[in-house]
Amino acid sequence: MEKKGSREIKILGWLLIAYFFYLVLSPIIPIVPKNEMYGDPAFVSALFNPQGLSEFFLSVLFLIAICIGGICEILGSLVGGIAVLRLKRWSRGFVVAIFLINIISKIIRLAIASTSLNLTRYLLGSRVQVFYFCLYLALDILIIYFFTRPKVKEQFI
């Protein structure tokens, strides 16, 4: 007997796959107008011209957090989206774990930026940055909340 998922699960599965394409294509094709912080020469200068050894280590940790968060978002959205559409038993836990790692990565980036005076100016200095940070954090939390609901859990058993 074939499992049949609810409409919400199908929609979220397709949205995860669409999010994968957004993540992959947005650096190449400007899909939506966004803040070009990572391409800003002042941000790059602040990240790669630290004011001492501690600033250097913070910059390295910041880059590692960006890489881990980005890889988790890309893997989680594609693999998780396909597995959710197929109602694989492990997919619910996989998506929750990936987006939890992504939340931790965002919090680490915020903590590092708040301790580095150079990075704080560029990460928290504009309302656009704060808006995008809060928006993506809220979306991650909503995805985790959706997949931990009992009604959703029972569809993956």
* Arithmetic mean of pLDDT, 136-155: 89
Question: What CA–CA distances, in Å, run from 94 to 46, 72, 139?
Answer: 35, 10, 16
> Do residues 76 and 94 make contact, with C-beta atoms less than 8 angstroms apart?
yes
CA distance 18 to 95: 15
Q: What is the pLDDT of residues 16-64, one digit of tens each?
A: 898 888 877 776 665 554 544 454 555 555 555 556 666 677 777 777 8
Distance separating the N- and C-terminal Cα atoms of the chain: 13
pLDDT score of 5: 72
CB–CB of 85/13 below 8 Å?
yes
User: 61 near 28, Cβ under 8 Å?
Assistant: no
pLDDT score for 145: 93
